[in-house]
Amino acid sequence: MNSILNKEPVLRAEKSLKQFNPELKVIVLEQTARTANDAATALGCKVGAIVKSLLFRAGDNFVLCLVSGDKRCSLNKLKKIIDEKDVSMANPEDVKKVTGYTIGGVSPTGHLKKIKIFIDEKLSRFSSIFAAAGHPNAVFEINFENLIALTSGEIEEITE
């Protein structure tokens, strides 16, 4: 179990978290948190309190959308916000190259490249939210205000 904590992506996410707030901890789950439903089951919380980190290709750039686990990211809203017609989900290779994480473990922080981040305002419904920490079995708990501060993300209406 502890071998997960020694994996490079988890260490990178944890370093970024600790630099922001030494109190933040990576939680290793017995079962996978690869999907929002899996994570909610493992943590005993509502699906909406799970942060989905979704990377989109927008023309030649990438944007990361942090979306409440019970919502879907709206491509149309995203296109309007960034004023780009060519927007699609990033492929697994791009996700790994840009964030340094694999799908299912993409953390909102500690990316390999600087990327613009949008945060779903619906995450503010919960006093505590959980996001991936670099591995499908690793998460961290944070509140909405601190997620904004940690990621320098912009709050937007990005869900349908």
User: pLDDT, tens digit, for every residue of 46-89?
Assistant: 999 999 999 999 999 999 999 999 999 999 999 999 999 999 99
- Asked, for residue 39, whether it belongs to a domain, the answer is yes
Q: How many domains does the chain have?
A: 1
Q: Could you give phi then psi for residue 32, rounded to 5 degrees?
A: -65, 150
User: What's the CA angle centered on 148, arms 17 and 84, to 5 degrees?
Assistant: 115
pTM: 0.95
CA 141/CA 131 separation, integer angstroms: 7
DSSP at 98: H
Task: Label residue 107 left, alpha or beta by phi (over 0 means left) and psi (-120 to 50 means alpha).
Answer: beta
Q: Which two tokens stand for residue 134?
A: 């670099």
**pLDDT on residue 2:** 66
**pLDDT on residue 1:** 53
At which residue do the structure tokens 């869900």 appear? Answer: 159
- Asked, for residue 117, whether it belongs to a domain, the answer is yes
CATH of the domain at 12: 3.90.960.10
Contact yes or no for 152/72 (Cβ under 8 A): no
- Asked, for residue 160, whether it belongs to a domain, the answer is no
Confidence class for position 31, pLDDT limits 50, 70, 90: confident
Domain that holds residue 139: 2-127+135-155
- Asked, for residue 60, whether it belongs to a domain, the answer is yes
User: H/E element holding 89?
Assistant: strand 87-89
- Asked, for residue 104, whether it belongs to a domain, the answer is yes
